[in-house]
Amino acid sequence: MALYSAESARGWVSFNDGIWEECEVMNSDPTTLQLRITKTGEVKNCPRSKTLFSYRNPSNLEAADDFLTLPNLDEPNILHSLRVRYWAGHVYSYTGPILIAVNPWRAVDIYNLKTLELYKNGNNKGPHIFGIATNAYRALVANRKNQCILISGESGAGKTESTKYVLQVLTAVGENRTGASASIEQQVMLTNPVLEAFGNAKTLRNDNSSRFGKWINVHFDRKGTIAGAEIKTYLLEKARVIHQTEGERNYHIFYQVCGASSTQKMLQDLGLQEPTSFEYTKTCTHAHGHDDAKSFDRTKQALHFIGFDAQSQQSIFAAVSSVLHLGNLKVSENSEGNALLQSDRHLIMVGQLLKLDPAAIQTAMCNRNITAGNEVMVKPETAEKARQGRDALSKAMYSKLFDYIVKCVNTALRLKAEAKTIQVSVLDIFGFEVFKQNHFEQFCINYANEKLQGHFNEFNFSLEIQEYKSEEIEWTYDDFYFQTNTKCIEMIEGRRTGMLSLLDEQCIMPNGNDDTFCTKLKMEIPNSPYLYTNKMKGTQFTLKHYAAEVVYDAMGFCFKNKDPVQPSMVELMSESSEFVKKLFSEHQERMTASAKNKKRGAVTTGQSTIIFESVTAQFKRQLADLMLRINAAEPHFVRCINPNSEKTAGLLHPEMILDQLRCSGLMEAVRVSRAGFPVRLLHSDFVKRFTILYPPSGSPDFRVEAVGMCAALRIPVEHFRVGLTKVFMRREIHDKLEEERSRLLVKQTLTIQRMLRGHAARKYVRELRRMRGVASRRIQAGVRRVLVRRWYSDMLMKRKRLMEEQERQRRARLAAANPANPDQPSDPASSNGAPPANGAPSTPGMGPGPTPGSNRLPPGPPGPPGPPGAGGQHGGPNGPPPIAGVPVKVVEDLELQLGMVRQLYYNERASQLALSNLVREIHSLNDPEDIQRRIRELEDKIASQRQEMSSGTLDSDPQDQGLGHRMDSLVACLALLEDKLHLVNLAESAVPAAPVRIDMERIRADVRREFHSELEGRGSHIGELQMLYEQSQEDLRRRDHEMMALRSRLQGAVDGAATGGGGPAEFAER
């Protein structure tokens, strides 16, 4: 592990696989980085030219709510900051003017009315969808300029929910609300369930995915009151009507009418059953969180409130039912290979719902009319062509039904009076899509996102220029390494050689097909940097978009671009019910105009001989109109992110999020920001961060300090600018400054670590010495205790022997003084050394000594010890007489030591006496209540003594060590009491039995045996004491001999000096 891990040495590294790993810079030079991977601990030497590396932001800035304040603004740092904020419960973040919304996949309490009021009143400035909506409304009122909120993201990112919240704010912030405006607000909110029912479906990533783009205009009058609204839709996914991927559902309305058919008589009359009964809905029938029957009721209520009466609703549901029954029509082949439509209940039901003859349906679906001059020929269709015609009719009918509903909604929401208004628009459109197989739908969606990204880039570039102007710094266009996607857009929508023009050309040609379209791409666009035709395999081609390179399969491009409906089917629909005629009126008008042109044999200018306009031409026209609306308004951006594909809360997939960051244009916005001077630090932050490189002069003006530091650090002028409030730097210069700062921090940190480790080591040694001293004193205390006890035992033996010797000498003297009666003293009062009759101590500080021949130690308490040697003076009134052959000094030392250690012995003796008394009390107790009371008292006493022991210190006096022995005695007595209580309870509860005869002889034998064993133990102890006494006598005799030898040598020396004639001085010298 490294000695020091500086924050400025942390970073992110990617080894050309798109996955960023956390690392730490161990060493660096101009060509190589030595990195330690944090996750694995592996140290790698990485060439700078082949490694993607970025420094990590400081920890205190990683959770910033605006990512533009981050010193390092790039993919890994944005991803990490999103992760930090998401795990902290923050689903919204800013990147300048762009709001990033990460789908939490759970209910969060941040959309209540209280939060809405905070943003409405301007009391909360944090990132939130409410903040974007309220800012748009305030800008609308203040600047009187149209506003637009652009919401994009992939399926499951939360675009639909974000749109709902924006509309909720826009309908709530209007001032001067009236009854009419309140009605419009409710109608705007009720458009959501209707559009979701007919335009949303379950996908693999989202259970309520919007399968169309919509542009919602909310009009406000000059007072700021909502006056009306309108909705424009783009590119409904019609292919979902006839086919869904495994695990996905068709549009919600199909399952709603099927789910409610069990209780709705009106739906049963339409021939509706369970979803599994229809080919278009049986792939998947369940969506999490959707109750189809209840959703049908909400859809009906919304339709009614918007303005659809019962007859209109009946017609709408009949059209939905006819689409389901069309999908169940069985097409087979006859013997000639021609299509044959089977007649069953579904065909009959289609005829009833569309007010058509089933035979006419069979004829129109299985045959095709060919006009040659004035003659019309009927050609049978193959089964495959008939199925395609059936599916084309189903898609066309549902698409026209969806457009009809949107048209009716707009009629209900239109302005009530012709007046000039200003508007806030909301764009909810599909995000950039990249799948394993990408077809015509993905091409159109990505083309729309390419156009929106071009506007996004221009907007961000304009913001950069505005910031440079506000900071009053010098700049030129050469300062920006900025590239737009304009050339890619021109390649797609060019007039003659554009991809869309080439596709339309193939759709017009009689023999045009997908292979010819791919060949045209190679011929007309050979060397474009955005189209890779050299790598084309079959009908595949690669298109380089702003977000990623996408491989498209052109198979089916021409057919989907034509989106054909057979003229025979259009003619059939013109004979249907009034409602269906209204749906197909536009088709009928185009077909009539085409027939007139063919009859005249000429083409009228501005009109096409093709029955229908191509999908790409129609979409290009709609997209151009959309861009005009966006360019005329002030934009606000919301980028929705789906954190995982499992729809699980708290789970983030880094690779998935990075793909969405690139596809949403956020990385492109970062690239625009990095094109100029991407690193921006406030003057104060710059000075404080790089003070270690150059000490400041102390000026209170941080701008002056920043200019001085940049000059002192010799930063090239073209790589930095100092504005009014910020310092702008190129990325490479900032990285060099950070590396130098990291190097100096490591050097100084090592010095600090060395000092701290030295201090810690010295502190440890001092503590170790203190603990050793405490341990030594404790060991010494224990050793001293053992030695004192031994000395005390020895002193007792010596005292006993001295007293026995005194008694023997006294008796000898009495015998010599009174030969007739040796036991009767002649003068007891004057006899030295005679013990008093009442057992009083014979020497001060001593208890009564044992009588001759006794084996028991004296039980009495000690008296106060006398002065040293008080009882050892020869002939004293209380001291013993001198013992023959024993020096007087030895006797004095013995008495002194006995007086010093007597207190220690008394403590343990007192404990033994207390224990004996307690045992006798236990034997006398017979009442269970008295026994229980005594048990409680003992428990309290044991607890207090344990507390006393626990509060003791290591250096306590040795006499306190007796607490342990006393507590052990109390515990033993407590156990004895509990046993006795148990026996008493058993005796009381037992059934009375016959009296048991007491064997007195056996008891006497046991007592006699125990008494003799005790005597034997005492006798062995006395033998040991006798042996010690003999050893002491031997030591005394040896010392007497030594004293006599020394005395004789001294006497000899004195005599020699006297005979030698030496004087006193010479003797003293000897």
**Among 415, 432, 515, 494, which Cα is nearest to 184's?**
415
- The number of CA neighbours under 13 Å toward the Cβ of 664 is 29
Using the structure block, give the residue that is written with the tokens 């006494």: 1029
Catalytic residue among 72, 155, 181, 200: 155
Note every long-range contact of 893-898, with CB atoms under 8 Å and residues 24 or more positions apart, other chains counting: 894/795, 894/798, 894/799, 894/802, 895/843, 895/846, 895/868, 895/869, 895/870, 895/871, 896/868, 896/869, 897/791, 897/795, 898/792, 898/795, 898/796, 898/799, 898/845, 898/846
**Strands 339-341 and 367-372, bridge-based pairing:** unpaired
For 782-910, list the strands marked E by DSSP.
none
Catalytic residue among 95, 134, 206, 281: 206
Neighbours of 864 (CB within 10 A): 7
Judge whether 209 counts as a catalytic residue: yes
DSSP annotation of 567? H
Helix runs in 355-498, H state only? 358-366, 383-413, 440-470, 486-493
Catalytic residue among 8, 210, 233, 501: 210
Report the distance separating Cα 620 and Cα 137, nearest Å.
Answer: 30
Residues 6+ apart with CB under 8 A from 708: 696, 697, 699
Q: Which amino acid is at 467?
A: E
Query: Residue 380: is it exposed, middle or buried by C-beta count within 10 angstroms (0-12/13-18/19+)?
Result: middle
Q: Torsion angle, CA of 257/258/259/262, rounded to 10 degrees?
A: 100
Judge whether 830 counts as a catalytic residue: no
The answer to whether 258 touches 274, Cβ cutoff 8 Å, is yes
Neighbours of 122 (CB within 10 A): 11
The answer to whether 408 touches 198, Cβ cutoff 8 Å, is no
Using the structure block, give the residue that is written with the tokens 């998935």: 656
Judge whether 206 counts as a catalytic residue: yes
The answer to whether 547 touches 661, Cβ cutoff 8 Å, is no
Which H or E run includes 84?
helix 75-87
Catalytic residue among 161, 274, 433, 804: 433
Using the structure block, give the residue that is written with the tokens 């005292």: 799
Report the distance separating Cα 177 and Cα 845, nearest Å.
Answer: 109
DSSP annotation of 719? G
Residues 6+ apart with CB under 8 A from 124: 115, 118, 131
Helix runs in 818-887, H state only? none
Catalytic residue among 28, 209, 367, 460: 209
DSSP for 772-801 reads HHHHHHHHHHHHHHHHHHHHHHHHHHHHHH
Judge whether 431 counts as a catalytic residue: yes
**Phi, psi of 145, deg, nearest 5:** -125, 140
Judge whether 433 counts as a catalytic residue: yes
> Two tokens at 534?
């050299």
Judge whether 156 counts as a catalytic residue: yes
Residues annotated as catalytic (active site), given as ranges: 155-156, 160, 206, 209-210, 431, 433
